[in-house]
Amino acid sequence: MVKETSLMAYQEHKASGKALSQRLQIFEFIKANQSVTRKQIELGLGIGINAVCGRVNKLLETGMIEIGFKDYCPITGKYVEFLRVRD
């Protein structure tokens, strides 16, 4: 169950417009860099990984971006998804 304070924080974040702003920043970053990982987005934009994952999930849901392929991350060495702007 989600705590009430978490819900309140999420609602405040959403209402502030920051989530939309971050989503646009992430979209532009992916567009400019072709295929990138979530970790590369985090380091490139200075946005926390939790925020990156939330915004990326929304961009995937809306069809603005897609998973291009899976490979090993050049930063972490883990097998991850590389994201790209949908054609």
The pLDDT tens digits for 25-75 are 999 999 999 999 999 999 999 999 999 999 999 999 999 999 999 999 999
pLDDT of 20 reads 80
Residue 19 confidence (pLDDT) above 80: no
pLDDT of 69 reads 98
Residue ranges and CATH numbers for the domains of the chain are 4-85 (1.10.10.10)
pLDDT of 87 reads 85
Name 38's Cβ contacts closer than 8 Å, sequence gap at least 6. Answer: 49, 52, 53, 56, 80, 81, 83
CA angle 27, 30, 34 (to 5 degrees): 145
C-alpha–C-alpha distance, residues 39 and 56, integer Å = 11
